[in-house]
Structure 1
Amino acid sequence: MPRLIRLMPIAILAVAAAILYAMYGEYLSFDALRDQREALLAYRDSHYVAAVIIFVAVYVAIVATSIPGATIISLTGGFLFSIFPGLLLNVLGATVGATLLFLAVRFGFGDTLVSRIDSSSGRVKRIKDGIDENQWSVLFAMRLLPLVPFFVANLLPALMGVPLYRYVVTTALGIIPGAFLYTSAGAGLGAVFDAGELPDASSFLEPRYLVIVILVVCAALVPSTWKRWQGKRTPE
């Protein structure tokens, strides 16, 4: 297939990112959410189904184009729709958006790059072999641990030949703890705005929520840790 055609989905996302950020970037801020909250709540109350559809579509667009604003839109999900169904809508929007970006990158040059890596040697090949050996655990860790930026976690699996179904499953399940934190914080934004304040780190660090996240992260790392431990016990 001609390279130009293969790169077309990526080019479309890049153009869409530039247009969206130029037109609506100023609205992806805490100040904008605070100033527009009454209008947003009124629209939600009078057009609930439309509000849900528009919200998910906006979330998908933000993640697929990788423009800054995922944090604000996640908080908005909790602010408008509470923890439930806000959490469900946040996870749905993020997963669909990440999957669209994954498919665009994979279609553009993922398969070609994977073939080159597999036939090469060196650090990149060793990294890919390590990912292939523990794909489920590595993918979950990328989503659960705040060590890898979200857009990098969206791109890297597409460049490393990760199967689509594993990517979708680990994305949808792996982002739930983080999405829960942001949705919960968003659900309490009304009181924060009424007090004339803006959210800070304490909004996301409530002990009862952090305990849940830590437990989930530990559970995700168990398979790879067990496998490595068993490998050390096995005589060469």
Structure 2
Amino acid sequence: MKQTGIRWIFPLGIVLLIGSFIYFDLAQYLSLDELRTRHAIYQEFCRQYPILSLLIYFFMFLTLTALSLPGVSILILVGGSLFGFIPTLLVTSCADVLGSTLAFLGSRHLFGNYLQERYPARFRAVNAGIDRKGWFYLLYLRLMPIFPCILINLLMGLTRIRVTTFYWGTQLGKLPHNMIYSNAGTQLNKLDSVWGALSPGVVSSFLLIALFPMLVKLWLKKLEARQPEPVFEQSCPVTVMQRRH
């Protein structure tokens, strides 16, 4: 009984944090309007305390990702405008994959092991598919923006995919997104005027954001054509889970 109570402390704490985030409307501080209003203040703080600023930014990003809270893309834009492309890309890539891995491990600890033992027959096909090419399933899910990150983290936590495979698959799958948004963030300072908004850097950055899903889809189709069997076969986790409902 005591172990059962301890088991639920973690998820209850997460629910409390998410509830506080929503109740106090903290998302308002992760908006472009807020950035434009306080950008000079943030920029001066980052200039005076560069290491501390990066650490604060890292843990903010890690918290949002681990708890699957909204505002991650906006936070990348903020980082690009304050720190530049390379520092933002490095920090967000590390924090992003670490936060996702924590959420993945939480899902496995709370639900994955129990469900695997409770319904072994239902997960047999899932485990077989993951063993064969789990990295490709994960990469597909990460690159296609139609799948929310929270769903991917929770879903993969229910499978037998290795932590190292999840880590590197997430790192590779999220890298293009982080690169595009970090670059777009460096152009935000030019949005103070109409001519600035029409500059080549701004236009190209936001064109990349708009075209990214289509480019990924074309690339995955070509990659899938080289596979000996369909990517989303009967053993794919998404296919199996959808079939259960």
Count of residues paired in the alignment? 222
Q: Secondary structure at the match of 1:99?
A: helix
Map 1:167-206; keep pairs closer than 5 Å.
167-195=166-194, 203-206=205-208
Structure 1 residues 204 and 77: alpha-carbon distance in aligned structure 2, compared to 1, 3 A threshold: same
Q: Residue deviations 1:28-71, cap 9 Å, x none? A: 11111111111111111000000000001000111111121111
1:141–1:217 contact (8 Å) kept in structure 2 = no
Q: Distance in 1 between matches of 2:223 and 2:125?
A: 22
Q: Residue deviations 1:65-119, cap 9 Å, x none? A: 11211111111121111111111111112111111211222111211112334x2
Q: Distance in 2 between matches of 1:165 and 1:224?
A: 26
TM-score normalised over the length of structure 2: 0.78
Letter in 1 for 2:31: S
Q: Distance in 1 between matches of 2:212 and 2:57?
A: 26
Structure 1 residues 38 and 16: alpha-carbon distance in aligned structure 2, compared to 1, 3 A threshold: same
The reply to whether residue 18 of structure 1 matches residue 2 of structure 2 is: no
TM-score normalised over the length of structure 1: 0.81
Q: Distance in 1 between matches of 2:218 and 2:96?
A: 19
Q: Distance in 2 between matches of 1:96 and 1:217?
A: 26
Letter in 2 for 1:228: E
Structure 1 residues 146 and 110: alpha-carbon distance in aligned structure 2, compared to 1, 3 A threshold: same
The reply to whether residue 53 of structure 1 matches residue 55 of structure 2 is: yes
Q: Residue deviations 1:198-228, cap 9 Å, x none? A: xx99743239x859x6499549x73784231
Structure 1 residues 215 and 65: alpha-carbon distance in aligned structure 2, compared to 1, 3 A threshold: closer
Letter in 2 for 1:165: T
1:144–1:175 contact (8 Å) kept in structure 2 = yes
Cα distance, 1:128 vs. partner?
5.1
Structure 1 residues 191 and 106: alpha-carbon distance in aligned structure 2, compared to 1, 3 A threshold: same
Cα distance, 1:3 vs. partner?
3.1
2:91 aligned residue: 89
Cα distance, 1:156 vs. partner?
1.0
Map 1:65-84; keep pairs closer than 5 Å.
65-84=67-86
1:145–1:217 contact (8 Å) kept in structure 2 = no
Structure 2, unpaired ranges of 5+: 231-245
2:144–2:216 contact (8 Å) kept in structure 1 = no
Q: Distance in 1 between matches of 2:225 and 2:158?
A: 21
CA RMSD in angstroms, aligned pairs only: 3.1
Letter in 2 for 1:17: I
1:13–1:65 contact (8 Å) kept in structure 2 = yes
Q: Percent identity?
A: 26
Structure 1 residues 89 and 36: alpha-carbon distance in aligned structure 2, compared to 1, 3 A threshold: same
Q: Distance in 2 between matches of 1:54 and 1:18?
A: 22
> Greater relative contact order: 1 or 2 (C-alpha under 8 angstroms, separation 6 or more)?
1
Q: Distance in 1 between matches of 2:172 and 2:101?
A: 13
Q: Distance in 2 between matches of 1:175 and 1:216?
A: 17
Q: Secondary structure at the match of 2:55?
A: helix
Cα distance, 1:125 vs. partner?
5.5
Structure 1, unpaired ranges of 5+: 230-236
Cα distance, 1:8 vs. partner?
2.4
The reply to whether residue 110 of structure 1 matches residue 82 of structure 2 is: no
2:137 aligned residue: 138
